């Protein structure tokens, strides 16, 4: 939970700078920040640095135009996390696209990856 909260704050910060939507963390240390290379490349890069048990947090950018760019995850995201022995994918609930959701969840279950939706309350606390 601590890594998810830490990742959330950092993902929001890079999003507000219009850099990316995703961070990879382990033990409250940022392993990778998404840039132009995209989510899956970020996961592979950060996951290798983390060795294993990486936590991936993906959120929408605060000023994002949803007509053009929604945070999206899918089977490829799970495969990247599995490849690097990551443990968690946390996405912003109600603000993210999950492609092939049933297959994605099945792949996550098989790989023992926890997928969690998060919502930020008005007071800044997170609901899991």
Residue 31 CB-density burial (10 A; 0-12 exposed, 13-18 middle, 19+ buried): buried
Contact at 8 Å (CB) between 31 and 50? Answer: yes
88 forms beta bridges with 55, 114
Angle of helix 39-50 relative to helix 75-83, nearest 10 degrees, comes to: 20
**Residue percentage of the chain with pLDDT more than 70:** 96
Query: Has residue 69 got a pLDDT over 90?
Result: no
CA dist 35 and 84 (Å) reads: 19
Query: Has residue 101 got a pLDDT over 90?
Result: no
Task: Identify the pLDDT of residue 127.
Answer: 86
Domain that holds residue 27: 2-127
Pick the range with the lowest mean pLDDT from 33-37, 62-66, 100-104, 112-116.
Answer: 62-66
Threshold 0.85, pTM exceeds: yes
**Residue percentage of the chain with pLDDT more than 90:** 71
CATH of the domain at 76: 3.40.140.80
Q: Identify the three-state secondary structure at position 31.
A: strand
Mean pLDDT of 102-125: 93
How many independent structural domains does the chain possess? 1
CA dist 51 and 79 (Å) reads: 16
CA dist 35 and 104 (Å) reads: 23
Note the pLDDT tens digit of each residue in 26-63.
Answer: 999 999 999 999 999 999 999 999 999 999 999 988 77
């Amino acid at each position: 939970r601590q890594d998810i909260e830490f990742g959330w704050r950092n993902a929001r910060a890079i999003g507000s700078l219009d850099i990316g939507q995703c961070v990879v963390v382990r033990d409250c240390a940022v392993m990778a920040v998404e840039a132009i290379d995209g989510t899956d490349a970020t996961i592979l890069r950060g996951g290798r640095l983390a060795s294993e048990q990486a936590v991936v947090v993906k959120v929408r950018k605060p000023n994002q135009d949803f007509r053009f760019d929604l945070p999206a995850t899918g089977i490829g995201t799970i495969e990247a996390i599995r490849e690097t022995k990551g443990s968690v994918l946390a996405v912003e609930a109600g603000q993210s696209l999950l492609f092939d959701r049933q297959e994605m969840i099945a792949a996550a279950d098989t790989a023992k990856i926890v997928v969690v939706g998060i919502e930020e309350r008005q007071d800044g606390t997170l609901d899991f």
